């Protein structure tokens, strides 16, 4: 269990790092580019990120669902720990202001919109992770960075990144049940999106 859970916590920390960068810069283009450091680190070190692992569901036994659930929880803990650490820094005020705007924008959206935007993100994430596995050198870096920038600039929904933004929001006293429900909707959307290419490839075989 710890061989799955600890790398999942570390992946959550990496997404927290990427999310902090995104909230700290004024340029959305720069924020999207720098956020990709989180995924590049996760892939380089072999950490467990839910949105990077769910695309391989069809290649595994049903018990893999339990592994994915554990990874999701580990990502939740990791993003929470990063947000909690920031709670005790001078930057938290500005991060809370930015995260509140991000969180409230998501919570004011409709469930179907959130789901479909999450599907788009899952699709991009599978492209990034599978490209990293298939390519070498600078090509693998480019093919990780570009899909990440695309899903951020297109305002697609990434459930683990949103965990971090919601943690910042929650720690500021703004916890809502709706935000938890929306995280579940985002997770389902990411899962569907990540499985589009592998499912189509299996049908093509």
Q: What is the pLDDT of residue 102?
A: 95
- Residue 140 banded pLDDT, cuts 50, 70, 90: very high
Q: What is the pLDDT of residue 163?
A: 98
68 is in which domain, residue-wise? 2-204
Q: What is the pLDDT of residues 67-96, one digit of tens each?
A: 999 999 999 999 999 999 999 999 999 999
Count Cβ neighbours within 10 Å for each residue of 13-30 and write b for 16 or more, e otherwise. bbbbbbbbbbbebeeeee
* For range 126-145, the mean pLDDT: 95
What's the confidence (pLDDT) of residue 204?
A: 78
Burial class (CB in 10 A: 0-12, 13-18, 19+), 190: buried
CATH code at 35?
1.20.1080.10
Kindly report, residue by residue over 101-129, the tens digit of the pLDDT.
Answer: 999 999 999 999 999 999 999 999 999 99
Burial of 122 (0-12, 13-18, 19+ CB in 10 A): buried
- Structurally, the chain folds into a number of domains equal to 1
Nearest to 169 by CA among 102, 79, 118: 102
């Amino acid at each position: 269990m710890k061989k799955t859970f600890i790398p999942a916590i570390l992946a959550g920390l990496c997404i927290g790092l990427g999310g902090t960068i995104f909230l700290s810069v004024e340029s959305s283009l720069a924020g999207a580019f720098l956020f990709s450091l989180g995924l590049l680190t996760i892939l380089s070190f072999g950490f467990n990120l839910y949105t990077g692992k769910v695309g391989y569901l069809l290649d595994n036994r049903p018990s893999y669902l339990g592994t994915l659930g554990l990874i999701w929880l580990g990502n939740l803990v990791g993003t929470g720990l990063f947000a909690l650490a920031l709670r005790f820094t001078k930057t938290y005020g500005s991060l809370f202001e930015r995260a509140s705007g991000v969180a409230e924008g998501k919570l004011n959206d409709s469930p179907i919109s959130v789901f479909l935007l999450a599907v788009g993100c899952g699709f991009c994430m599978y492209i990034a992770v599978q490209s990293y596995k298939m390519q070498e050198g600078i090509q693998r870096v480019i093919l990780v960075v570009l899909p990440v920038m695309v899903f951020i600039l297109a305002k697609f929904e990434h459930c683990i990144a949103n965990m971090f933004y919601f943690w910042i929001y929650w720690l500021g006293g703004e916890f809502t049940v709706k935000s938890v429900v929306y995280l579940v909707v985002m997770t389902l959307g990411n899962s569907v999106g990540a499985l589009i290419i592998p499912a189509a490839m299996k049908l093509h075989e």
